[in-house]
A and B are shown apart, each in its own frame.
Chain A
Amino acid sequence: MKSALSLSRRQLLSFLGSTFLASKAWAFGESARWVPAIAQYAGRWDLRRSALRRFAYEVQRRTATEVVLEPVPIPLDSPRLFELPFLYWGGEGGFSPLEEGVRQNLRRYLEFGGFILADANGSGGGFEESLRREMSLLLPQAPMALLDTEHVIFKSFYMLSSAAGRMGASASLEACLLGRRAAVVWVPHDLMGVFARDAAGRFEYPVIPGGERQREMAIRLAINLVIYALCLDYKDDAAHLPALVRRRR
């Protein structure tokens, strides 16, 4: 098995190739592709912008999902939000309350099928409180609930037993559930930080406390979240359950 931690020549060529092909193939099928949209708001929203590009590449490289590699910043009040069903909302430090019009846009976005991956970049520092405040106002009917490892997110592509990030790991995730669908998933461990690389292609941040194994688990969690956004509870279908239960044992 090749390590995911080093970028081989083959992978680099593949990366460049897929980028080239993607731009060429955008003509038809782009719309059905997964686009790493990033929430633009009055706060430190773009700390992991480049990491998202690497994240999109990993999704493309590891799964059958076709992606658009370039992250798309999108203001939260923009009607264009409804062209991007997956939204990454990261940040560090608190942010001021959203305007009611923005909240209405986001509420509609989530209720009609949008998905938000909320991630505390760096140490968080007030971001979590601000995000929880907004979520409680956006979806008062769906307070954050714990998702343990039985949830389909932990088996949507990789079989996972924890929710890892750059700053740690936990046995569960938190999410706002609309019906049975997790519309907002909150990761407190700087998930996107594991993808960030510097100009020389080296990982930008260390992963603590678990090192590179934890990085790989965090990458897998991020991939699972994308597959969950795209396939919902597919892996809970009766056709998959017996095999997956066997593997859990």
Chain B
Amino acid sequence: MEPSALHTSEWLSLSPLPTWVWWGAVLACGVSLGAGYWGLRRERNALMRRLLLGLRWAAAGLLLLFLLEPGQRSRTLAHLPGRIAVLVDQTASMQLPSRPGGETRMAEAVKVVRRLLEPSGERPESIELFGFGESLTPVNLASLEEETPKAEHTDLLGGLRALSQAAQGSKPLVGVVLVSDGADNTRLRHGMNAQAAEFLKGLQIPVSTVLVGEENLKDIAVERIQSDGFAFIRSKLQVDAGIRVRGFRGKKLSVALKSEGQLIASKEIQAELEDEVQTVSFEMTPDRTGRFVYTIAAEVFPEEVLVDNNERSFSLKVIRDRIRVLLVSGRPSWEERFLRGLLKEDSNIELVSFYILRNHDDATEVSNEGEEMSLIPFPMREIFDEQLASFDVVIFQNFGYTEPQLMVSLYEGNLERYLFKGGAFLLMGGDRSLGESRQGFQELARALPIEAAGRAEIHPFSPQPTAEGLRHPITALGKDGEETKRLWAQLPPLQGMNRTRAKKAATVLLEHPTLSMGAPKLPVFALWEYGRGRIAALMVDSTWHWAFTAHSTGAPSHIYERFFKNTLRWLTRDPDLTPLLIAADAPRFSTGKGVGASLKTRTADYAAAPHTRLSLELTSLEKQQRVQMLELETDAEGHAHVEFNGLEKGAYKLLARSLSSAEQESQDAFFIEPLGEERSSARVSSSLLKSMAESTQGRFFKSHAVSLKELPLNQPAPIEIDRSKDEPKWDKWYFFVLFLVCCILEWALRRRLGYV
């Protein structure tokens, strides 16, 4: 359609003279007229005075006319047709059905676009198509039909902002059509706000909105889960789930918390409104450390438009809150005092301690012990029977058989079983322990990595790390072996040690520099795993010199702290210190994407375990069914990486086992979620799209009612379509003649009247 022409003309000065010349001329004319008045002030003949002044006015006016050079400019203008931008929502929610059992929202959007593109002859504007999701991109009808919308965030304002910032075309943008389900989940998640309205007004373009999808769909969705992502073992944890219930007013439904296919808890809620989010809270107390996948599942009803969003998983890493340590000390000593100071300082340690402050033959000089002394009986049964399992680590510091009433022989069996089942024990030497004790341990001795081998060694010495000690995480305190040796060598010497022999399977990390029992040197610090438990033995009672005497030179040394904290980490199986470690690349994956997991193997003494053969089992926790089982071998660095593809949605557990050591295993869990936030809710929001249209003087349409003819559009500014023509209006001969006549006549009259 040809644009209609519009002819216009306007007056203007054609003079090339600068402005100051004009003002000079106006001033000169003013002076001339003033002089004329002054000169004629005594003229009695009023007619003659008026005539003379009139002639001067006329001459001055004509002179200004010549200087201004007035003319007329003729132009031909036209309103060219603008362009209309059609923005189509390409986020994943457009995959959802527009109505129960109906076509997808995108299919409905395509119909809308097709209708807008139909040549109707009604509007001259051209139409440009854009898709918006993570970004704004030009699209065409074919790509809209073929490509699956999969952007994960609906940001309606972002799409419009990108359009306004895009390069301007040759044609002015006169209107925008936004085709969407209105399920914004970013800035307009909660509807329109003043800031958004301000932005939309600032666009100065009518934005018409077209709703695709039906409102009032029936759907139940686990819309959100509030959980910290980690929890403390044996501590209560609350998980809140936001359940969106749409179209089930008055209906009761159950919501369940499951883990590894097992039901943990279930609650019933009743929908009170047509569309609402109810928060359901679950409490649970994890009893194992590690990573676990939990699922919140809401009841499914047949009339729901979408059932995939009825459940949602989350991953929880269960960690130790505080290591519960039992410290039993044979008597007050500096060794006990500095160890207590260290353990009490650490907020991650809950210390329960019992010290033997008085022996039965000590003379306390009191008549009423219960009143005058602060001693309490050592609660042997309570500690070693009832409470034993609650401790993560038990430490015996210089505690042995010295007192008849403190014989732990009745409870040795308990201790041994506690260790075999996964407990941890640190035996620290002294003059009441091991070979210095009146009586050795019996059942407990089986669990120890060393055995007493005579009376104590009495001379001061500096322990040195063994080859295993140079790489074990407890004793490898330097960046490399040399630094580790140097750090140990610079510590104050220890004052004697219990003489022991390391058992065959034990790992000795620190040894006496010279003394030996046969070939190996005397062990100073040794450890091993007993059943599922971990046990370490330190054959000295003077490590407090590392904490105190080491500071005599003023150089801060934290070797004492690092040594004992590393020991506790190893004893409590800090996940970072296990010989076999498997970790999924992430706790959560999306369907269709590969799932990666890394494996790391180390020897018992923490060197990299190259070419270790491992089995890896992938289990679906919901189906309680093995999905994949494979064998693999780590590389020369003890590392391996595996990837699983084509896994369905759900929770999975990875279990890696060393094929050479049945005791070594590691596990991790992850889940695959088909639904991003986009597809977890069937929400359609007409109110948001209506508000947006109103804010911009646009119009809201339902998809079937969209009409190009009814789109409110801006009128484009007219543009010149032909060359303009300037016609001078001052260069006429009669203006010159008139000017001359005025000048001559004034001169002649003045002469006659005697003014010249």
Contacts and interface: CB of A to CB of B under 8 A. Distances in A.
B367 A157 contact: no
Nearest to A10: B363
Interface stretch (A38-46, A143-151, A186-194, A226-234): A226-234
A112 interface: yes
Given A11-B363, A28-B456, A63-B357, A82 B332 contact: no
Contacts of A244: 374, 376
A247 B331 CA distance: 23
Given A85-B548, A247-B371, A2 B365 contact: yes
A13 to B, nearest CB: 13
Interface in B420-459: 430-431, 436, 456-458
B336 interface: yes
Interface string A230-247: 111111011110011001
B372 A66 contact: no
A27 B456 contact: yes
A81 B355 contact: no
B495 A31 contact: yes
A199 interface: no
Contacts of A28: 431, 436, 456-458, 495-498, 541
Contact of B549 (A61, A82, A233): A82
Contacts of B344: 232-233
Given A237-B353, A239-B352, A61 B340 contact: no
A13 B398 CA distance: 27
Interface in A196-249: 216, 219, 226-227, 229-235, 237-240, 243-244, 247
B333 A65 contact: yes
Contacts of A104: 554
Contacts of B551: 82, 108, 112
B199 interface: no
Given A108-B554, A113-B341, A159-B373, A31 B332 contact: no
Given A29-B496, A32-B542, A62 B374 contact: no
Interface string B358-373: 1100111111001111
B542 A230 contact: no
Interface string A89-125: 0000000000000001000100011100000000000
A27 B334 CA distance: 16
A79 interface: yes
A63 B362 contact: yes
Interface string A3-38: 110000001000000000000010111111110000
A113 B374 contact: no
B299 to A, nearest CB: 46
A112 B555 CA distance: 12
Given A83-B549, A112-B547, A31 B359 contact: no
B332 A65 contact: yes
A80 to B, nearest CB: 8
A231 B337 contact: yes
A203 to B, nearest CB: 15
A27 B551 CA distance: 24
A239 B431 CA distance: 27
Contacts of A156: 374
B376 A230 contact: no
A176 B545 CA distance: 24
A159 B374 CA distance: 6
B401 to A, nearest CB: 14
Interface string B480-496: 00000000000000111
Nearest to A235: B374
A241 to B, nearest CB: 10
Contacts of B735: none
A232 B337 contact: yes
B356 A64 contact: yes
Given A62-B364, A62-B365, A227-B357, A157 B548 contact: no
A82 B549 CA distance: 5
Nearest to A180: B344
Nearest to A231: B332
A227 to B, nearest CB: 6
Given A158-B374, A232-B344, A64 B545 contact: no
Residue of B334, B335, B379 contacting most chain A CB atoms (<10 Å): B334
A153 to B, nearest CB: 11
B556 to A, nearest CB: 9
Nearest to B542: A31
B334 A239 contact: no
Contacts of A33: 333-334
B544 interface: yes
A155 interface: yes
Contact of B362 (A61, A82, A114, A240): A61
A231 B359 CA distance: 16
Contacts of A61: 362-363
Contacts of B545: 31, 83
B45 interface: no
B354 interface: yes
A230 B333 contact: yes
A32 B370 contact: no
Nearest to A32: B333
A1 B366 contact: yes
Interface string B299-336: 00000000000000000000000000000001111111
A62 B340 contact: no
A83 B550 CA distance: 9
Interface string A157-179: 11100000000000000000000
A3 B366 CA distance: 9
Contacts of A232: 337, 340-341, 344
B362 A231 contact: no
B552 interface: yes
A25 B431 contact: yes
Nearest to B382: A239
A231 B376 contact: no
A34 B334 CA distance: 7
Given A63-B358, A108-B554, A230-B337, A32 B353 contact: no
B195 interface: no
9 contacts: A29-B496, A31-B496, A31-B542, A31-B545, A63-B357, A113-B341, A226-B332, A231-B336, A239-B376
Interface of B: 330-338, 340-341, 344, 351-359, 362-367, 370-376, 379, 398, 430-431, 436, 456-458, 494-498, 541-542, 544-545, 547-554
Interface of A: 1-4, 11, 25, 27-34, 61-66, 79-83, 85, 104, 108, 112-114, 155-159, 181, 216, 219, 226-227, 229-235, 237-240, 243-244, 247
Given A113-B337, A157-B375, A239-B354, 7 more contacts: A27-B496, A61-B362, A62-B364, A63-B364, A65-B331, A230-B336, A247-B370
5 tightest A-B CB contacts, nearest first: A27-B458, A29-B431, A31-B495, A82-B552, A28-B496
